Structure 1
Amino acid sequence: MEEMDSYSRTVSAVAAEVTGKVAAVRLGTGSGSAVVVDGGALRDPSPDHPARTTASTVLVTNAHVVGRSRRGTASFVDGTEVAVVVAGSDPLSDLAVLRAPEPAELPAPVRLGDADGLVVGQLVVAVGNPLGLIGSVTAGVVSALGRALPTRSGRAGRVVEDVIQVDAALNPGNSGGALADHRARVVGISTAVAGVGLGLAVPVNRTTRHILTTLLEDGRVRRAYLGIVGAPAPVPSDVAERYQRSNGLRLAQVVAGSPADHAGLRAGDLVLEVGRQPVEDAQGVQRQLFGDAIGSPLPVTVLRNGAMVDVVAVPTELS
């Protein structure tokens, strides 16, 4: 019983800290959840920048919750309701940022964690508003990392990369809610229900912090498009020893007619470097594909049939 009591205390403590900071949102015909975040903490994630309510306090949700809406309302468990407007939306990451005209009316923001430190089997707690039930809490473990989720934009070949898979129960309305670790730090934004006992969340990490900051400043994210889909894969032992690299990105698909296709990349290639930076997963590629990479030569190093191959791709702007 002691182990169960410890588990219960942990989940209860996370719920107590996070629940009041997650809103039920309605925007046009869409609805879901949103998490109160300190915009300043997105730029400075250090422990010396604790989350606090400021003029930059915003709500983070999913792009698919926002849809084409520009304004709506956010309701909290204490009965507070505020008007919100859409500051920016990015369907490719399934993230969006909402602002309240009066930031001081929002609850204190959550503390943000770093999903890059998650491990399979780790306890996570999901807080959201499933089926319209405000302030619902479920708990489970991280089932898998690095999943890919097709976007809801309807464009072929577009996926949200590095999604967290959890077994915590998620239902319609959880989208945009918080996924927190055992210390009540938000490490993900719930994004989808993939099936019975299977939920997915967008990770909170360096890449998503950059996306959210850009949405706050510019209202949209300009991205370079390469045209590849892949998954982490081990590097052969001889190459791993020579290059001090344990993993690369195995290409499952190279989109026909894409910059990657024109550069000569092929399905089955094991990507080791992009832009002269080591790559071990899709996130490593995404970090190289923001606005400044558009139209610029981008060197890519792959392992193909036991040989190192260097190509140069010229990313286009993702429309």
Structure 2
Amino acid sequence: MASIGLLTRLLGNAGDVSEAPRPDPVVRDAALLDSYSRTVVSVVEAVSRSVVHIHVNGERGGRAARGTGSGVIVSPDGLILTNNHVVEGAREIEIAHAGDRSFRARILGRDPDTDLAVLRAETSDTLPAARLGNSKAVMPGQIAIAIGNPLGFQSTVTAGIVSAVGRTLMGQSGRLIGDVIQTDAALNPGNSGGPLVSSAAEVIGINTATIMGAQGICFSVASNTALHVLQQVLKHGRVRRGRIGIAGEQILLTQRMRHQAGVDQKSAVRIATVLEHSPAARAGLVSGDVIIALDAETVTGVDDITRLLDERRIGRQIAICVVRNTTVVGSSSSRKSVRKPNDLIRQIIQPFVKRDAKLSNSGANGIFY
């Protein structure tokens, strides 16, 4: 009987234990949506004052043409980033700013290879500038907010997510634009040149294109690429870059490739195409080679190659490290500054030599750039 009494007390005690209340899924989802809304609203409040509506009068194909687009102010003294195709052929550019303000602007430099252009607002006013973020830190799945003037509707906001990073996109010049951000934030004609913004209210891309007939597939040129173009235009009036004749794309490195190369980086650039008779071809690079370093600097994406192929290395021999079939291979290449994508370098290139299966100075560079 004592045992039965003890069992009864134990069962009674167990029954007295109450479960912790579970959160109501509806309430939880509502809280998440409210947080999302507050984030988007705060970003729009912070950045929309820096977005401008661009009106262009010019000439295309020998005929008078008018067009509109968007842009984003990136410095208080009136530097504006937009798309090259928005202002190409422009004779007059008028900027419409928040609060019914308007002023003229002039082109400081254009870069058809990345479909970017830099304008200078002709005003003495101090303008609200947006912050350029680090696009290398952008991750698929994060919030992406597009602000622009689609179809003439000023200050239109659309929101979505970053669908992918490291995409390549064919530019107007026929050159592949690397390190492009794909988003499902809706873009329409007139959005071109406007900013793609993160939840931290930083510009992570310049909206440039959509795929006609497809829904939710839109593209932005990464902010790191835009910053490089901006710096080059301010310094030279154009973008100076070397070309060795390759096209490539960002890929994730497998654990095996990282082990074979002796590196910790999680991504690199895989060569998709090597132009015939180009310096890259003469150096022995082939399609499928994976670039992991250039002049001993780590390459994790196309933007790294773009940054490293600047005027500092023009005319110099450079070194690159590539992985080929899990074996590290090196080659050497020289390059010069060129203005057009088809101006290939005509220099004798030293043949590549195989290295030990570890990171070492080796070389080439490129991306049809």
TM range (shorter): 0.7 to 0.9
Aligned position for 2:185 = 168
Separation in structure 2 between the aligned mates of residue 17 and residue 237 of structure 1, nearest angstrom:
41
Aligned position for 1:304 = 324
Query: 1:136 deviation in Å?
Result: 0.5
Aligned position for 2:33 = 4
- Runs of 4+ more than 6 Å apart: none
Q: Secondary structure at the match of 1:287?
A: helix
1:202 aligns with 2:227: no
Say what the alpha-carbon RMSD is for the aligned residues. Answer: 1.8
Q: Secondary structure at the match of 2:90?
A: coil
Aligned position for 2:100 = 79
- Aligned-residue identity in percent: 38
Asked if 2 retains the 8 angstrom alpha-carbon contact of 1:90 and 1:221, the reply is yes
Query: 1:57 deviation in Å?
Result: 2.7
Q: How many residues align?
A: 298
* Structure 1 residues 217-267: Cα deviation after superposition (integer angstroms, max 9, x where no partner): 322111101221222334454552351234332211112222211211100
Asked if 1 retains the 8 angstrom alpha-carbon contact of 2:248 and 2:273, the reply is yes
- State the TM-score, normalized to the length of structure 2: 0.76
Separation in structure 1 between the aligned mates of residue 141 and residue 101 of structure 2, nearest angstrom:
36
Asked if 1 retains the 8 angstrom alpha-carbon contact of 2:241 and 2:309, the reply is yes
Paired residue type of 1:59: I
Separation in structure 2 between the aligned mates of residue 284 and residue 75 of structure 1, nearest angstrom:
35
* Structure 1 residues 22-53: Cα deviation after superposition (integer angstroms, max 9, x where no partner): 11102223321010111xxxxxxxxxxxxxx3
RCO higher in 1 or 2 (8 Å CA, sep ≥ 6)?
A: 1
Decide whether aligned partners of structure 1 residues 8 and 71 sit closer, same or farther in structure 2, where only a CA change above 3 A counts: same
Segments of structure 2 that go 5 or more residues without pairing to the other structure are 1-29, 59-65, 341-369
Separation in structure 1 between the aligned mates of residue 227 and residue 251 of structure 2, nearest angstrom:
26
Asked if 2 retains the 8 angstrom alpha-carbon contact of 1:77 and 1:134, the reply is no
Aligned position for 1:25 = 54
TM alignment of 1:103-122, pairs within 5 A: 103-104=124-125, 107-122=127-142
Paired residue type of 1:32: G
Separation in structure 1 between the aligned mates of residue 316 and residue 301 of structure 2, nearest angstrom:
22
Aligned position for 1:16 = 45
Paired residue type of 1:201: S
Decide whether aligned partners of structure 1 residues 91 and 2 sit closer, same or farther in structure 2, where only a CA change above 3 A counts: same
Paired residue type of 2:163: S
- State the TM-score, normalized to the length of structure 1: 0.87
Paired residue type of 2:324: R
Decide whether aligned partners of structure 1 residues 102 and 10 sit closer, same or farther in structure 2, where only a CA change above 3 A counts: same
Asked if 1 retains the 8 angstrom alpha-carbon contact of 2:78 and 2:127, the reply is no
Bigger Cα Rg: 2
TM alignment of 1:134-149, pairs within 5 A: 134-149=154-169
Separation in structure 2 between the aligned mates of residue 275 and residue 258 of structure 1, nearest angstrom:
19
Greater shift, 127-136 or 3-12, is seen at: 3-12
Decide whether aligned partners of structure 1 residues 284 and 183 sit closer, same or farther in structure 2, where only a CA change above 3 A counts: closer
Aligned position for 2:248 = 230
Query: 1:317 deviation in Å?
Result: 2.6
Separation in structure 2 between the aligned mates of residue 202 and residue 238 of structure 1, nearest angstrom:
31
Query: 1:297 deviation in Å?
Result: 1.1
Aligned position for 2:207 = 190
